[in-house]
Chains A and B, each alone.
Chain A
């Protein structure tokens, strides 16, 4: 069965960096695009970033563009989110999610359990 497990969350000071990982299993990881989505405490979902199956295409939300970097290691079935110049507004639960694609467009068919990132001095 498909499983996505995020790790790397924790408490970080403003201006510092943190790297999240998402380990995937149960599907052909190297053939699927992957997304990161976050949710601030008590708030709604915010799309963060996308990486294509081979890493050649990357897109970012406006609030993280220029600060966050998404990458993947298909040999290790893992997707990463490197977060730099962090601010208190980056405090959220971060989810990785697998992209499903077809004639209907795309949607996120599997999600991890999330990892909490808290930016605080």
Chain B
């Protein structure tokens, strides 16, 4: 299953509302997770099951979608949110990640 994220990169300022999209090559129902990765660090899960917020993750992060189209929304960007974001499908036992979306400061 191929996962395609868009955009590959985007620039924003603190306070912006940002949306990242992930599209699967076939239906994955809601078996879709979102991760955040900062330089030199391991990824950290933000959203699991398409729309469930992982414990400890700020509520400005939200996820939606089902089937083939999914979105990650960050409402009110904070300085610490500038990072790279990845989607991951776990519908297939052969998990796959999207290519990543780099979010940087405008």
Contact = CB atoms under 8 A, between A and B. Distances in A.
Interface of A: 35, 37, 44-47, 50, 59, 61-62, 95, 100, 102-109, 111-114
Contacts of A100: 48
Secondary structure type dominating chain A contacts: strand
Secondary structure type dominating chain B contacts: loop
B48 A107 contact: yes
B62 to A, nearest CB: 15
Chain B interface size, as a band, is 20 to 34
Nearest to B95: A47
B60 to A, nearest CB: 20
A80 B88 CA distance: 23
A113 B52 contact: no
B92 to A, nearest CB: 9
20 contacts: A37-B97, A44-B97, A44-B100, A45-B35, A45-B37, A45-B43, A45-B88, A45-B100, A50-B93, A59-B94, A102-B49, A104-B49, A105-B33, A107-B54, A107-B88, A108-B43, A109-B54, A111-B43, A111-B44, A114-B42
A100 B47 CA distance: 13
Interface of B: 30-31, 33, 35, 37, 42-45, 48-49, 52, 54, 86, 88, 90-91, 93-100
A103 B51 CA distance: 13
Given A104-B49, A109-B54, A111-B43, A44 B94 contact: no
A61 B97 CA distance: 12
B58 to A, nearest CB: 17
